Structure 1
Amino acid sequence: MKPTRTFRLLPQTYRSLFSYREFRRLLPALAVSDLGDGMSIVAVAWLAVQTAPPGRSGLYVGAAIAAYALPGAAGALVFGRWLRRLPARRLLAVDCWLRALCLGCVPLAWAAGVLHPVLYVVLLAGSSVLHAWGSAGKYSLVAQILPPERRLPANALISSSASASVIAGPALAGFLATAVSPAWLIGLDALSFVVLAVQVGRLGDGTKQAPASAPADTARSASGLRMLRGQPELLGILALTWFFNFFYGPVEVALPLHVTEDLHAGSGVLGLYWTLFGVGAVLGGLTVGALRRLPVWPVTLAIVAGWGLTLLPFELGAPTAVTFTCFALGGLIYGPFTALSFTLFQDRTPADWLTTVLAARGAALLTAAPLGTALGGPFVAALGPRDTLAVSGVATLVLALVATGFRARARYGTPPRGPVRAER
């Protein structure tokens, strides 16, 4: 079959990925699932508002959003004893089927008139309890079906798909919600996980490996987080990512209030900020995946510093057009971060430990942004939206400087344990 003209326009690093049948099958299903999650960004909160008890909508919406994310951290710890031995493909499939079942019950309960607020929160919590393991299985599966030199562009495509879903998903949800209840949009998200689970089950023998058992010293083997203590470089990137997400958290509180209180504008302006950020993130992610040689740590630290810089113009009272540009640039800068981080973990972690370590990573990071968001409210109340955005930017810059110092010290004292294939 001759490649289409559009396909030939892709950079060679991306074209080569589609020569791997398993990845060619997996990527569209991941994109469908990402789109479903993008719609749920709107649908979960919207349905919570509609079903909240009178006078308690704020508390209930917060509980629903937290239930859709935070239980994954507990699941990574509670179920690790059993799940760390499962192959990556089965981990991803189990997570998809659980999410499909729990989320699929939401529209059924709504249609039957029994969607009590407590039941809604329980179903959302159940859908997310294996989220850290599902994410670990996804990126471990990519590491299995592709050679090391193809992992960075593959991770870039996957992270760009997630970024694109933040643009398209809420827009599609807003359009569909004019005709149907948000409960049915959550049902579409459940269906998207069925699509992914079925496609994962159809992957060829190239992805079948022995269950990911622990190393020979199983009786005294450590958990994923304990193993990371013996991998200073991975522990460093995990700490950097945690604080990066933590300092980002207040932005989600401050930006809407900046729009309403400082700019006296409506939801359209807020939506445009996030749309520009999402477009920038997609472009940034795709760009880094097309590069063949990349110094991973220097680029990662530059991303952290660059995002901090894009928040400073808010404090200076810059015109809205300038802050729009800064947010788009911030997305462009941030876009490569996820792909680089996962590539570093994939290349530095022994294959038998990859799902366990990635699940521990996911569990740790699930707490970062929510904690930052929780602190954002008091900061905005004390400082105002603009100052809070600026404090977030300054803290992120300080983080980049501190991490650069630690990295320089570690590099001088101890050489890296193994090469990252994208690094020269």
Structure 2
Amino acid sequence: MPAAVAAPRARLPGVAWRLSAVSFLAASADSFFLLLLLWVAGPQGWTGLQTALVILALRLPTLAAGVLLGRAVDRWGARRLMLIDLAGRAALLGGLALTGRLPLIAVLLVGAATGCLAPASYAGARWLLPRVVPDDALGRANAVVAFGDHAPLVLGPALVGPALALFGTSVSLLVPIGLLVAALVLARGLPAVASPAAPEAVRDAPHAGRLPGRVTALIALSTAYYFVYGPFESATPALVRARLDSGEAIYSLLWVVFGLGAIATLPLVPRLGRRRPGLVNALGALFWGLVMLPVLVVQDVPLAAGLFLLGGAVWGPYASIETAALQRWVPPSQHGRVFGLQRSLLGTASPLGAAIGAVALEQVSAQAVLGCSALLCALAGLLALARRDLRRAE
């Protein structure tokens, strides 16, 4: 008999690519804004504690707002909440740009307000995707949207150095404003998909208030991983200045190659996430810590760039694998709630770790902070491997 011919893979719906573009533009704006503030903290005269406060102001409100916005997505759908988020953040950054010199109090207030809004687009994209993409294509669709999340690791750093050199601090804020406006225009074309269940049905569903153990374990792993990774963001500028004897161009380069590494491994997401995603991500956290540990002895730019490239490659598939697992393990009527919770925890954990790293830099070297961070990432992965339900969950 002739060999069976495999059916060609169906093309992804255009809405998946649109969601990727919206995520890319919005996350690029967020990345640019954070990196800009981290770089100008020294020239602005901010102390380590003040820099930590800025980071916390950007992300801590996400902890309170994430679950509320996720539930709002479950009730009213993704499109409306995403439009409110994107328009609100663009307006807030516009107001900050008008202050001219970025006074600390204005940065804190605007950062807190944007942090309250940002979870809506993240949760909305992941709520909408399973409703517009066939189940057998969901892994590929998550990888496409993840490209929109990871590509900002390239674009944000690539833009922030030249923008600061050419335009100065306040005018450079026009870059994230423009990115958010472009995302807003694209988001207007998203379908207004209705929620699959009325709020009453979600409330009355069996065990609606509890999440499966494997779900809480996976989110707990990510929260710990992102928290102990956080010092890499705040300590990298000090590493570039003190150890590599370089400026904003090399700072941008390191994060660009990190982003390129992350993008390069995204095609592996459907295969890696097909079986035992909890095990895969626990090993990912372990390997990332081991890969980045040589930062303790790095003294030249090529070696540092190589480490960041390899670290990005290990980091790349992680978030998409987690997203696909949560979409499978959680009922559709609770997707908004779960992804809002996830975003609130992860969006807070990394900046909180970065804030602690900023304070630690006043006492120890950047390499000590980065080395400690890498070791703790590996430890988080090891601890997660001890959870049998997480290791074995399909």
Q: TM-score range by the shorter chain?
A: 0.7 to 0.9
| Kept in 1: contact 2:76–2:194 (CA 8 A) | no
Distance, in Å, in 1 between the alignment partners of 2:382 and 2:106 is 46
Task: Name the counterpart of 1:399.
Answer: 380
Cα distance in 2 for residues equivalent to 1:153 and 1:79: 26
The equivalent of 1:7 in structure 2 is: none
- CA root-mean-square deviation: 3.4
Say whether residues 1:39 and 2:20 are aligned partners.
no
Give the one of 211, 216, 221 matched to 2:201.
216
Give 5+ residue unaligned stretches, structure 2: 1-7
Residues 308-329 of structure 1: per-residue CA shift (max 9 Å, x gap)? 1112223456876444323211
In structure 1, the residue matched to 2:174 is 187
Selected match of 2:287 from 306, 321, 325: 306
Aligned to 2:5: none
Count of residues in Structure 1 that have an aligned counterpart in Structure 2: 387
Bigger shift: 336-345 or 92-101?
92-101
The separation in 2 between residues aligned to 1:404 and 1:260, in whole angstroms, is 37
8 Å Cα contact 1:35/1:169 also seen in 2:
yes
Post-superposition CA distance 1:260-303 (Å, at most 9, x none): 44444444444333222111111122332577945423321221
Contact 1:259–1:266 under 8 Å retained in 2: yes
1:171 is matched with which residue: 155, 158, 182? Answer: 158
Q: Tell me the distance in 1 between the aligned counterparts of 2:160 and 2:91.
A: 21
Q: How does 1:198-347 map to 2 (within 5 A)?
A: 198-204=185-191, 207-210=192-195, 213-214=198-199, 216=201, 218=203, 226-228=209-211, 231-289=212-270, 293-315=274-296, 321-347=302-328
Residues in 1 aligned to 2:289 and 2:338: alpha-carbon distance in whole angstroms: 28
Cα gap change, 1:97/1:304 in structure 2, threshold over 3 Å: closer, same or farther?
A: same
Displacement of 1:213 in angstroms is: 3.6
What displacement does 1:189 show? Answer: 2.2
Q: Could you tell which deviates more after superposition, 332-341 or 22-31? A: 22-31
* Counterpart for residue 19 of structure 2: 26
Per-residue CA shift, 1:59-111, capped at 9, x if unaligned? 5554444333322222235667756522122222221222122223233x33x
Tell me which residue corresponds to 2:114.
127
Following superposition, the deviation at residue 344 of structure 1 comes to: 0.9
Change (3 A) 1:329 1:90: same
**Conservation of the 8 A alpha-carbon contact between 1:67 and 1:121:** yes
Give the counterpart letter for 2:369 in structure 1.
T
The match for 2:94 is 104
Counterpart secondary structure, 2:230? helix
Q: 2:21 aligns to what SS in structure 1?
A: helix
Alpha-carbon distance in structure 2 between the residues aligned to 1:23 and 1:324: 32
Specify whether residues 115 and 307 from structure 1 end up closer, same or farther in structure 2 by C-alpha distance, changes over 3 A only. Answer: closer
Question: Within 1, Cα distance between the matches of 2:35 and 2:232?
Answer: 18
Contact 1:48 1:117 in 2 (8 A): no
Match of 2:82 in 1: 92
8 A Cα contact 1:44 1:186, kept in partner: no
Distance in structure 2 (CA, Å) of the matches to 1:87 and 1:117: 36
- Distance in structure 2 (CA, Å) of the matches to 1:262 and 1:106: 33
Task: Assess, with a 3 A threshold, how the Cα gap between structure 1 residues 283 and 215 changes in structure 2: closer, same or farther.
Answer: farther
In the TM superposition, residue 132 of structure 1 has moved relative to its aligned partner by 1.9
Pairwise CA distance, 1:354: 0.6
Question: Higher Cα Rg: structure 1 or 2?
Answer: 1
Aligned residue identity for 2:119: A
SS of 2:151 mapped into structure 1: helix
Tell me the amino acid that sits aligned with residue 138 of structure 2. R
**CA distance, structure 1, for counterparts of residue 48 and residue 372 of structure 2:** 26
C-alpha deviations, 1:333-370, integer Å up to 9, x for none?
A: 11000111111111111111110111111112222122
Could you tell me which residue of structure 2 aligns to residue 148 of structure 1?
135
Name stretches of at least 5 consecutive residues in structure 1 with no aligned partner. Answer: 1-11, 420-424
Distance 1:220 1:289 in 2: 31
Q: Select the residue among 5, 11, 23 that pairs with 1:16.
A: 11
> 1:16 is matched by which residue type in structure 2?
R
Match of 1:3 in 2: none
Once the two structures are superposed, what CA deviation does each residue of 1:173-229 show, in whole Å capped at 9, x if it has no partner?
A: 43344443543443342343333333323234xx52247643537379988xx533x
